[in-house]
Amino acid sequence: MALDPTRTVAELEELRSLTGDADGAQRVAWTETWERARDFLRGKVEGTGAVEEIDAAGNQWFTLRGVSERELLIGGHLDSVPNGGWLDGCLNVLAGVEVLRRIASEGEPPVTVRLVSWADEEGARFGRSLFGSSAAAGSMRDQDELRALKDRDGVALPGALAEHGVSLDEALAASSQLEHAAAYLELHIEQGPVLESLDLPLGVVLGTFGVERSRFTWRGQAAHAGSTPMDKRRDALAGAAKLALYIREIAAEVGGGAVCTSGGVVTKPGIVTSVVETAEQLLDQRHLDAGSLARMLQLARDGAERFAAEENIEVEWERIWSIEPILFDDTLIGFADEAILEVAGASHRLPSGPLHDAAEVARAGIPTVMLFVQSLRGLSHTKVEDTKREHLELAVQALDRLASKTLAWLA
């Protein structure tokens, strides 16, 4: 059976009808709609000879036994955010099905090939993303926090998991699934504007950005807008404004794809008649190189201290969250580049800003690579998320070529 990328696009459309509505995709993990998507996947894999297994964390595996027990993994996620897009996550899974069909049609592969649909990549219902992949990777270390998570209706995570046959206490047992994993491949929409701006359909992902998330709290003095001369003010907003502009200089100075975002400022008292007393500012900084990321944070903190001194206000820094950069495998990056060149004539290497299940697998020490396909206008997590049909078909072809090259390497 030859690879048929048009079938993948048709199946994506089918899944959209089955699990979406006028507001977009509704395949939120641990819901009936998500189970419907898993049933749909089960039906599509049927006939390939791959054997299904749901692991202790709710991940759905399809295993095509090969000559060797070493495993090539192809993975994605069926779950979406509420009112999500038709491609985010499930493109990987359905492209993987097509690759599995092609490999299965050629007889027993040299190594075992497994398709995995990770459980709850988005964390849309309970706020904790990468649930299934972090359990499999053994990096899930927050069971106590997970136990306390509740959805908007007050349903606790453990209860929701139980309804889908998963016990939170047992979830880490999923790590046995990666015992024989030798390589991991994932295809995803870019969710950013880079490939579109370069007019390229496909790119190779070098790794996922390291992230530093900070809260800067600026403290000045509330003062009457009418009775306080300009030179008597201690304006907390001035500090936040200077930092909001300075982070662009930081990104430019550090370079290498550095991004800095001031995602919001909350001012108090926040009324028209008062100088701002307190401004809470969120900062997100990302880089693929750990040293560069550390330097970006240091520049921001030094800048904040300087601005606080200039404005005669105070500033307090707090780390909200951080994660190290996770680099993908050089050999697989090379294969991915070749695969893209073969099907599209031009490739591009880029980092991933968002995290993906692939990052968890890579953290577990398994050689990993991702392909990105162009996202129109860079939009995702919305019903208007889209990718050109011809680009989707090229993406399936590139994943198939990449799988072939990786199989040959592993053999």
Applying CB under 8 A, the residues found at the interface with its own copies are: 190-194, 197, 209, 211, 213, 223-230, 232, 235, 237-238, 240-242, 244-245, 248, 251-252, 257-267, 269-276, 282-284, 286, 320, 352-354, 378, 380
Residue with Cβ nearer its own copies (28 or 288): 288
Least separation in angstroms between residue 347's CB and its own copies is 18
Least separation in angstroms between residue 247's CB and its own copies is 9
Residue with Cβ nearer its own copies (68 or 274): 274
Q: Are 129 and 121 in contact (CB under 8 A)?
A: yes
Q: Are 290 and 282 in contact (CB under 8 A)?
A: no
Least separation in angstroms between residue 168's CB and its own copies is 26
Which residue from 351, 399, 343 is spatially nearest to 115, judged by alpha carbons?
Answer: 399
User: What is the C-alpha radius of gyration for the chain, rounded to an integer number of angstroms?
Assistant: 23
Residue with Cβ nearer its own copies (45 or 373): 373
Residue with Cβ nearer its own copies (18 or 225): 225
3-state secondary structure the chain: CCCCHHHHHHHHHHHHHHHEECCEECCCCCCHHHHHHHHHHHHHHCCCCCEEEECCCCCEEEEECCCEEEEEEEEEECCCCCCECCCCCHHHHHHHHHHHHHHHHCCCCCEEEEEEEECCCCCCCCCCCCHHHHHHHCCCCCHHHHHHCECCCCCEHHHHHHCCCCCHHHHHHHHHHHCCEEEEEEEEECCCCHHHHHCCCEEEEEEECEEEEEEEEEECCCCECCCCCHHHCCCHHHHHHHHHHHHHHHHHHHCCCCEEEEEEEEEECCCCCECCCEEEEEEEEEECCHHHHHHHHHHHHHHHHHHHHHHCCEEEEEEEEEECCEECCHHHHHHHHHHHHHHHCCCCEEEECCCCHHHHHHHCCCCEEEEEECCHHHCCCCCCCCCCHHHHHHHHHHHHHHHHHHHHHHC
Residue with Cβ nearer its own copies (20 or 239): 239
Least separation in angstroms between residue 211's CB and its own copies is 7
Pairing of strands 60-64, 349-352: unpaired
Other beta carbons within 10 Å of 46 = 11
Residue with Cβ nearer its own copies (245 or 346): 245
Q: Are 38 and 149 in contact (CB under 8 A)?
A: no
Paired tokens of 31: 């819901």
Residue with Cβ nearer its own copies (68 or 228): 228
